[in-house]
Structure 1
Amino acid sequence: MPADCAPPALTSSPGLEALKPMTPDLIVLADTIHTLDNRHAEPIQAVAVSGGLIAAVGSRQDAQAWRQAGTRMVDLGSATLTPGLVDCHIHPVFGLDLTIGVDLSGASTLNEVRSLLLTEASHDDGWLRGWGLNPNAFGTVPLHRSVLDDVSNGKPAMIRLFDGHSALVNSRALEVAGVHGRYQFDQASEVVCDADGRPTGFLVEAAAMELIQSHIPRETFEERKSRLAALLRDFARAGLTGGHVMDHSEESSALFQALEADGELPLRLRTAPWCMPGSDENDWKSLARTLGKGGRRWSIEAIKLFVDGTVDNGTAWLYEPDLYGQSTAPFWPRPEEYSAAVRYFASRGIPTATHAIGDAGVEHVLDALESLATVVPADVLRRTVHRIEHIETVPDELVARFKGTGVVASMQPTHCTHYSLADHSDNWSMRLGNERADRAWRCRDLREAGVTLGIGSDWPIAPYEPLPIMADAQLRRRSGVPEQEPIAPSQALTALQALEGYTSHAAKAAGLWEVSGSITVGKRADFTAFELDPLTTAPDEFAASNVLGTIVDGELQFLLERLA
């Protein structure tokens, strides 16, 4: 914690932990308060806040002694209060581009996809847009531009697949962009072509998609600001008090600054700009210079890298090919350059977060991070958190290596429960085969190995609502769908582990455990209030229950009207 933010010394008394002297701005009361701080042996039912920090914790009786003239009291009654929930992997600004047009995430058949696109194409917009398309909806029908040609009413069309790493475009879009054949890229990206060298319309990874995206008219800044403000308000109403944003751009800075100036930034955002293949040390230096920039509730704090793509589009990095002979190449054509980039940032105390889904990809990241011990001073290495994002299929030996490296695992339980099936009939499982599909999202094994496990949504790849995600992490199936067979049920988290993934472990995954992640005197006053107790309520029931409110910096971001 910076010296100018350090809290006064702690004092204690029976049933009360407090900063002295204390004049609380806010006191929150709840029948159940889970502090995630094991030092509190007795039940806690009151928290006092002063100057944005937790000033005292204790009983309802203690709270009466803390109250001063002007102190606001919020009594949540039978509710449960926890540290504020933090989504460890979201894309709120990048997601604005990924969520334009019709939402196809609920379409399970090709006929449903066609029907939704036909309705969307009847609008007057210049482009037919859609997002969230699950390739399982196509069944055995190839992903081909002709599917869109039939429903696009002569308009250029671009449809994002659910993984965010691929898109399907129609013939008119290829014509507008002047894309007529294969391309060479600095990263593992592809304009997929048929045997005659003609583009099929399937675009894999960012560089290929940008060939089309760059021709689509952009929204105005005000339009994007308005959409982002509404999205962040929805995040807060869902229970989130913070998010680890796995992208950043100049536009992100401008949008966050504008929202903060208007008082419309209801949660903390910790962002990470991308370091991509083809970059060199000059580019890395430019990225490093952005670290620490930000405002009151947002800041650039890490670097995001990729070593592979996704299983579903054949760009994961696996030891052995998938069913179609794909997923054997790294995202960085020369992966040693990825390792050099990690060393550059790590040696300067800059945290990194690397997208790695396949077993070979995860191993390469672990190799790179283990090698830091020989080139990075021990004190720098000790205070810098490095993470691997996603980790969808790995063998036992890689799980064991996490603990030895101190690497944080950041995972998304609903990627498993929404996009794979226990009988392995989904695209992800079929591509991998039974052995690798049985290693799906090994959340419990990583926790039992002593690994810090942050949990998130990867919105807009999957829904952002944290309560269903926490429930899915325990059920290993979609909450509210009891007839669905659990997927690798041995990997189910406990209720406490699921909550920790959004609170204490989320703080550790950001290197912020000293200032957040538990209800502890001196830490940030960020809280989430629940209608039901996340630790004792059946997961399906909890997923369908209400969030009652969120508090950030000791300031109410939202409170259900009946409690206000």
Structure 2
Amino acid sequence: MSAVADTILANARVRTLDPDRTSASAVAVKDGHIVAVGDDGDVRDWRGAHTDVVDLAGATLTPGLVDGHSHPYLGMEMATGLDLSACRDLDALRTALADAARAAGPGDWVLAHGLDHNAFGGRPVHHDLIDAALAGVPAFIRLYDGHSALASGPALAAAGIDGPRVFAQRAHVVCDPDGRPTGHLVEFAAMALMDAVLPRENAAVRRERLLGLLRDMAATGLTGAHVMDLQDPGVLDLLADIEESGELPVRLRIAPWCMPGTDTEGLDHLVALQRARGRRWRIGGVKFFMDGTVEGGTAWLEHPDCHGQGTEAFWPDPAAYTRAVHRLARSGVRTVTHAIGDAAVRHVLDTVELLDDPAQRALHRIEHIETVPDSQIPRFARLGVAASMQPTHLAYTRADHRDAWSTRVGKERADRAWRCRDLRDAGAVLVLGSDWPIAHYDPREVLATARLRRLPAHPETEPVAAGQALTGLMALEGYTSHSARSVGEQDVAGRIGPGYRADLTAFAVDPVTAPADEVAAAPVTLTMTGGAVVHRS
């Protein structure tokens, strides 16, 4: 080390994830990068008059945690209002909505989110089930999957939704046999029909909410997030504005959406957009959807679900998806594709396999992968396609398959749910994340669930597909080294070594060896992003 460090992290148990040096007790940082890794005896050689020495008191220091799938900006909109995630049945739902309606002022709406499909007890989602509780107050409720919503009768009237609509993508306004909307809006285009009438926050409020959210994320140990949307182009101006007066506490890598109907000009725009970046944010890739969700009946399955649905792709012409991915790959642009059903996963892998250039094949990821047969598992590693999964989504299923997701897909497909371990054992790159706001962004909960196959602090819950549990090291790699590999950043991120970015997370316990339930509740001692301490307990 030739220069004096800005910051030294000492008295730590360092899990470097560097095969050349797997452990250490001190790390030196200068100008946002790691400049030395060693033992506490080396500290005096790194220290200068103005070096900040942080005693981690035996905490375990790891590469900075990166959420592999998150929606910070879109999520703020999706998570606005009343949180209904605790409602387990219609009585609880109606009580919560009635309380909110009574508290509403003149002209107010009830906005809510996080509602589990299981709360309807197997009944079709319909505004008739909630309108009486709302007593005329318009309501818009996002279901937990993020791909569907329930609008009350007055809300439908306000938006002028009085019958079915035709969309360029797989989306629909669910109607009864007489053509009257039930209020169930499935997929983004259908939900967007409400945009013109829903209440909106002003830009200043959204700026402060976003900064507060990112600070809260940093406090859980996150130093970065792969952001899976760019719905509002104004987000880039917002991020630039934040960096004019400070720094983002969390590094953001953003993948804007490419939707069905995108023409050559639109694809060229997405290629050009890859140049947009700031100090801690950048456009990095493009997001596709190959299907929707199981519970909404829009996951693309090889065989129909129990309602005879799930046999269509999100792109009405799947070949158009393939052409779009290939055009981006030839331009060196990475892609991530939402694919939940087995047919959707297969089609994405087929699309990548049609690329002749191995370098172009290595640019792709598949998101979610909720059910997949044995035949597709080895293709991930063979083709170089990364798997991106969210273990905490298991909370919406049950080991006995008595839940909406399992009932929809049937026992055979439910038995192969979220095959994290099979993918890792087959040699695939496996990225872990939360899909916030679909599940909480706290990485400790995801790390624990990946090992337990149930939510932490619920030992009474039977694990879902227990054989798919990851080891503690595999789970940590999913948030660090494998996350970096999935976006081509393995030479600058994902390990603790000289020359790597000083994105670091310190835990009060060892996240690899401590019991998983303890990891979920363990204090985060320190979070460092780009050499700056953004959280310290």
Report the TM range for the smaller structure's normalisation. over 0.9
Query: 1: distance between equivalents of 2:227 and 2:33?
Result: 24
Q: Distance in 1 between matches of 2:44 and 2:170?
A: 62
Greater CA drift, 246-255 or 163-172 = 246-255
Which residue number corresponds to residue 347 of structure 2?
Answer: 364
Q: CA deviation at 1:232?
A: 0.6
Does residue 27 (structure 1) correspond to residue 13 (structure 2)? The answer is no
Q: Deviations over 1:18-57 (max 9, x none)?
A: xx4121000001331100001116x400000111110000
Provide the rounded CA distance (Å) in 2 between the counterparts of 1:433 and 1:557: 46
Match among 296, 300, 305 for residue 279 of structure 2 = 296
Q: Counterpart of 1:150?
A: 132
CA contact (8 A) 1:30 1:80 kept: no
Residue in structure 2 matched with residue 537 of structure 1 by the alignment: 514
Q: Provide the residue aligned with 2:86 in structure 1.
A: 106
Q: Which amino acid aligns with 2:203?
A: F
1:420-455 per-position Cα deviation (integer Å, ceiling 9, x unaligned): 100000100010111000000000000001000000
Q: 1:390 aligns with which of 358, 362, 368?
A: 368
The answer on whether the counterparts of 1:316 and 1:330 sit within 8 Å (CA) in structure 2 is yes
One-letter amino acid of the structure 1 residue matched with residue 300 of structure 2: W
Tell me which of 487, 502, 513 is aligned to 1:510: 487
Match of 1:261 in 2: 244
Aligned residues of 2:63 and 2:496 also touching (Cα < 8 A): yes
> How far does residue 213 in structure 1 lie from its aligned partner after superposition?
2.3
The answer to whether 1:552 aligns with 2:534 is: no
Where in structure 1 are there 5+ consecutive unaligned residues?
Answer: 1-19
Tell me what 1:86 maps to: 66
Structure 1 residues 421 and 523, CA, compared in 2 at 3 Å: closer, same or farther? same
2:404 is matched with 427
| Counterpart residue number, 1:309 | 292
1:403 aligned onto 2:381: yes
Counterpart check, 1:381 vs 2:324: no
Which position in structure 1 is the counterpart of 2:452? 475
461-470 vs 111-120, which moves further: 111-120
1:73-132 per-residue CA deviation (whole Å, 9 max, x = no partner) reads: 001112110000000000001111101110011211221111211122222262111000
In structure 2, give the amino acid aligned to 1:521.
Answer: P
Distance (whole Å) between structure 2 residues aligned to residue 427 and residue 402 of structure 1:
28
Instruction: Summarize the alignment of residues 31-180 of structure 1 with structure 2, pairs less than 5 Å apart.
Output: 31-40=12-21, 43-121=23-101, 122-124=103-105, 126-180=108-162
Contact 2:7–2:53 (8 Å) recurs in 1: yes
Give the match for residue 437 of structure 1.
414
Would the aligned equivalents of 1:420 and 1:428 in 2 still touch at CA under 8 Å?
A: yes
Stretch deviating more after TM superposition (529-538 or 209-218): 209-218
- TM-score, scaled relative to structure 2: 0.98
Q: Deviations over 1:501-543 (max 9, x none)?
A: 0000011111100101000110101100101111111001111
Asked if the contact 1:304/1:352 (under 8 Å) is kept, the reply is: yes
Residue aligned with 1:274, SS: coil
Contact 1:132-1:160 at 8 Å conserved across structures: yes
Aligned CA-pair RMSD: 1.1
Amino acid at match of 2:213: L
Distance in 2, matches of 1:252 and 1:505, equals: 27
The percentage of aligned residue pairs carrying the same residue is 51
Question: Contact between 1:48 and 1:57, CA under 8 Å: does it hold in 2?
Answer: yes
Q: Distance in 2 between matches of 1:227 and 1:318?
A: 38
Letter in 1 for 2:285: A
- 281-290 or 444-453, which deviates more: 281-290
C-alpha separation between the residues in 1 aligned to 2:50 and 2:180?
71
CA-to-partner distance for each residue in 1:323-365, whole Å, 9 max, x for gaps? Answer: 1111110000011000010001000000000000000000000
Separation in structure 2 between the aligned mates of residue 184 and residue 284 of structure 1, nearest angstrom? 24
Q: Distance in 2 between matches of 1:146 and 1:225?
A: 37
- 2 CA distance for matches of 1:323 and 1:479? 31
CA distance in 2, matches of 1:477, 1:528: 24
Secondary structure of 2:208's match?
helix
Matching of residue 485 in structure 1 with residue 462 in structure 2: yes
Cα distance in 2 for residues equivalent to 1:258 and 1:210:
27
Q: In 1, distance between residues paired with 2:476 and 2:460?
A: 25
Secondary structure at the aligned position of 1:155 is classed as coil
Cα distance between partner residues in 2 of 1:175 and 1:57 = 63
User: Cα distance, 1:174 vs. partner?
Assistant: 1.1
**Structure 1: distance between partners of 2:440 and 2:238:** 22
Q: Which residue matches 1:271?
A: 254
**2:431 corresponds to 1:454:** yes
Could you say what secondary structure the match of 2:435 adopts?
A: coil
Structure 2: distance between partners of 1:516 and 1:465: 20
Equivalent residue of 1:493, what SS?
Answer: coil
Aligned partners of 1:148 and 1:169 also within 8 Å = no
Indicate if the aligned counterparts of 1:363 and 1:398 stay in contact, CA closer than 8 A. yes
Letter in 2 for 1:485: E
- Give, as a single letter, the amino acid of the residue that structure 1 aligns with 2:28: A
Q: Secondary structure at the match of 1:35?
A: strand
Q: Distance in 2 between matches of 1:30 and 1:185?
A: 59
2:207 to 206, 215, 225: 225
Q: What is aligned with 2:442?
A: 465
Listed one character per residue, the Cα deviations across residues 55-77 of structure 1 (whole Å, up to 9, x for unaligned) are: 00000001122111111100111
Contact 1:229-1:264 at 8 Å conserved across structures: no
For 1:523 and 1:429, locate their aligned partners in 2 and report how far apart those are by CA, in whole Å.
43
Q: Is the 8 A contact 1:454 1:505 kept in 2?
A: yes
Shift of 1:264: 4.6
- The corresponding residue for 2:185 is 203
Instruction: Determine helix, strand or coil for the equivalent of 1:342.
Output: helix
CA distance in 1, matches of 2:365, 2:49: 46
Any conservation in 2 of the 1:90–1:460 contact (CA below 8 Å)?
yes
Structure 1 distance, partners of 2:89, 2:137, is 23
Pairwise CA distance, 1:252:
1.5
Q: In structure 2, the residue corresponding to 1:325 is in which secondary structure?
A: coil
Q: Distance in 1 between matches of 2:138 and 2:194?
A: 10
Cα distance in 2 for partners of 1:509, 1:347 equals 18
Asked if the contact 1:101/1:120 (under 8 Å) is kept, the reply is no
**1:389-445 deviations in Å (ceiling 9; x for gaps):** 0000000001111111100000000011x1110000010001011100000000000
Q: Which amino acid aligns with 1:36?
A: L
Residue equivalent to 1:10: none
Deviation at 1:247, TM superposition (A): 0.5
Unaligned runs of 5+ in 2: none
Residues 171-230 of structure 1, C-alpha deviation per residue, up to 9 Å, x if partnerless?
111111111111110000000001111111100000000111232132100111111111
Counterpart CA distance in 1 for 2:301 and 2:35 is 50
C-alpha displacement of 1:370: 0.7
CA contact (8 A) 1:271 1:298 kept: yes
Alignment-mate amino acid for residue 86 of structure 1: V
